[in-house]
Amino acid sequence: MRWLASKFSTLIATVIAAIFGAAASQAVAFTNAYLQRLTGHLDEARRYLESLRSGEMGRIVTEPVARDQLLEVFQRRVTDLEAARDAIINANAFVKPLVGLFNLEEDIGSGTLETFVPAIPLDLPSLIYGVVGIVFGLLLWEIVTWPFRRWRRRQETKAV
């Protein structure tokens, strides 16, 4: 019975490691998809800002105070998006997904996740993230099962 339980535990650990490894290996591809979508939002925000500055949108927003407030909001949005994009672009390939995670805009991230298509990870950073995911999954399984192994050892020592 102990042999079967050990094999079942190994199977579960392998499945968890494979899931974490596969998910982590997609980090680079997701970051690239997010960066593309972020750049699209940045381009759109720049167009709105330029339209407001040039007076095209000025026909719709005629009150000067409201127009100035809109200019400020759009300028802040452009600045924030540029900062996030530049941080991701300038990051080292191995930390780019982490930088992307720390600069994640919720609405852009959820839109990216909805349309994300997993990729086959053939580049070195993706493969390294995959291996790190496997190791993390195995460590997680060890942490979760540690109290049970400890309890079983205590039971065995009491029985002897």
Return the pLDDT at 160. Answer: 63
Return the pLDDT at 133. Answer: 92
Q: What is the pTM of this model?
A: 0.74
DSSP 31-70: HHHHHHHHHHHHHHHHHHHHHHHHTTGGGT---HHHHHHH
Please answer whether residues 114 and 40 qualify as being in contact, where contact means their C-beta atoms are separated by less than 8 angstroms: no
Return the pLDDT at 68. Answer: 83
Average pLDDT across each block of 10 residues of the chain; the chain has 160 residues. List them in order. 79 90 92 96 93 75 80 93 96 92 94 92 88 92 85 74
Return the pLDDT at 159. Answer: 67
